[in-house]
Each structure stands twice: as C-alpha cells, then as structure tokens.
Amino acid sequence: MSPEALGKRPPREGLLEVDDLFVSYGPIAALKGVTLSVGQGEVVALIGANGAGKTSTLRAVSGLVKPAKGAVRFKGQALTGLKANQVVAKGLAHAPEGRGIFPNLTVQENLDLGAWLRKDGDAIAGDLEKCFSLFPRLKERRAQLAGTLSGGEQQMLAISRALMSRPTLLLLDEPSLGLAPQVTQTIFRILKDVNAQGMSILLVEQNAHLALGLAHWAYVLETGTLVLQGTGQELLASEAIRKAYLGE
C-alpha cells in the first residue's frame, strides 16, 4: 500500500527495498506497515514529527531491532533475521541517532573501528585520507578523545566512521541534531559531495527543509505509517508539507 505520490521518480537500479515493515516495542506499535525503497546513487529522505518512527525504520533496516513483520531486501538479498553486525558486512553503514561515537576512544580509534570488518589495509588508509579531506578538522584532532570534540565535530566523526566501512548505502539518523545552522549547512554540503561520488543515502531528518533540498525522493512518516511521498522539490512546494513541517 503506497501513499500518494507527488512528482515522478526517475527510474534507478534498486538497492534497498523495505516491504510492509512492522516494528513494536512491547505494546507500542512504532511502525505499521512501511514500504519504501532506495535506488542506486539516490538520496532518499524520511521526514516526520517526533515519535513518527523514523529511527525505528533505520534500526529495523540495520538489524538493531527485529521487525514483527515485513521484509528488508538489500541488493536483492533478504536482510531480515540478520544481526546488526552481519548487516554491516553486506555494505550498509548506520550512523545512529545521537551520533553514537565512542567518547573515550580517540578520533583515530573511532575511525579504525568503522573499518574494522575490512581486510584491504591499503584502501583503508586511502579512505582515511578521503575522510580527512572532507573534514579537515578531524585530521587536526585525530589523537584527541572523541568525547572532547564539539557537537558538530562529533557528527562529522560519526559520518566519517560510517564511511570508513566503505558502504554501498549510508543510513544517517538526524545529522543536524543539536547543531548550529552553519555547521548543519557544512555537513549537508559534504553529504551532497559524498552522494555525487556515488554513495546512496537514506537520510532521516527533523530539518525537513534541508533534507528535502538534498533528497531525490522523500517519504513522509506519520505515527508509523507513510502518508506522502514525492521528489524533494515537489514536497518542498506542497501546501500540506509547508504547513506541517516547515512551519509556514
């Protein structure tokens, strides 16, 4: 059951398919049948109010919670039933909400952990340099404990750490959380660059304006159900979205 669509989605090779996903925490039903997809090289945004179930969707995709019902397929393979650590190995990286960095490890150690499943040592060093060129501040602070970084730097670290696993799909949960507008702008500009180099992204955001500006396609989630989908531009222009999520 797909929600109404605004605009037309350019066809792409499929990457992630989520089919009729249900997630419950005890008696609380967080997701009640979510169906969405992410194509190769696409940025897909998932927006919605607090408690709508955005984080739950990402957690179900990356195996951190077990869905009560529904299927997740990645590159045509079923992910359902795999544990989080097995999902990472398939090429999915999750930068969790609230960043989830390791505060008492150094920046460098955090990044090493991101690459921990990889065996290609030389390529890891290259990717590390790439991360440092995206976020030069991290390079200066590589020996510093991650917990002593500013909020924005921690977010940069969380994204870099996710990139270090060299994923096919990046799951980002509220990268703008608690950051000053300029820092958020910087991060979104970098996400755009990362996507331009071919990375597919599933982005969860409160900041609908920024998310829709970046997204090729977006879904609107309301209390566990998708209510609307469309191209980022069409949703930005839509009356309902402007009222509900952009505060206009």
Ligand X SMILES: Nc1ncnc2c1ncn2[C@@H]1O[C@H](COP(=O)(O)OP(=O)(O)OP(=O)(O)O)[C@@H](O)[C@H]1O
Report the interface residues with ligand X, using CB under 6 A: 25, 28, 30, 48, 50-56, 97, 206
Strand ranges (DSSP E) for 49-192?
A: 69-74, 77-78, 92-95, 169-173
In the complex, what is the shortest distance from the CB of residue 100 to other proteins, in angstroms, rounded to a whole number? Answer: 3
- Cα-based distances in Å from 96 to 122, 158, 161, 174, 235: 27, 8, 11, 8, 25
In the complex, what is the shortest distance from the CB of residue 102 to other proteins, in angstroms, rounded to a whole number? Answer: 4
CA distance 10 to 73: 20
Task: Report the partner that residue 195 touches, choosing among Mg ion, ligand X, other proteins, none (CB closer than 5 to 8 A by kind).
Answer: none
Nearer to other proteins, 100 or 151 (CB): 100
Task: Report the partner that residue 105 touches, choosing among Mg ion, ligand X, other proteins, none (CB closer than 5 to 8 A by kind).
Answer: other proteins
The answer to whether residue 55 forms part of the interface with Mg ion (CB under 5 A) is yes
In the complex, what is the shortest distance from the CB of residue 58 to other proteins, in angstroms, rounded to a whole number? Answer: 10
- The two tokens of residue 32 are 């009640």
Nearer to ligand X, 97 or 112 (CB): 97
Spatial contact of 217 and 44, defined as CB atoms under 8 Å apart: yes
Which residues contact other proteins by CB under 8 A? 62, 64, 83-85, 88-89, 94, 96, 100-105, 109, 112-114, 116-117, 161, 165
CA distance 169 to 1: 24
CA distance 116 to 144: 20
Residue in the block written with tokens 């090729």: 216
In the complex, what is the shortest distance from the CB of residue 219 to other proteins, in angstroms, rounded to a whole number? Answer: 22
Nearer to other proteins, 82 or 221 (CB): 82
Contacts of 165 (CB under 8 A, 6+ apart): 88, 93, 114, 115, 116, 117, 118
CA distance 243 to 248: 5
Task: Report the partner that residue 67 touches, choosing among Mg ion, ligand X, other proteins, none (CB closer than 5 to 8 A by kind).
Answer: none
Residue in the block written with tokens 């000053």: 180
In the complex, what is the shortest distance from the CB of residue 229 to ligand X, in angstroms, rounded to a whole number? Answer: 16
Nearer to other proteins, 95 or 226 (CB): 95
Which residues ranging from 95 to 134 are in contact with Mg ion (CB under 5 A)?
97
Spatial contact of 229 and 217, defined as CB atoms under 8 Å apart: yes
Task: Report the partner that residue 141 touches, choosing among Mg ion, other proteins, ligand X, none (CB closer than 5 to 8 A by kind).
Answer: none
In terms of residues, how long is the chain? 248
Kindly list the residues in this chain that would bind Mg ion in the complex (CB under 5 A): 55, 97
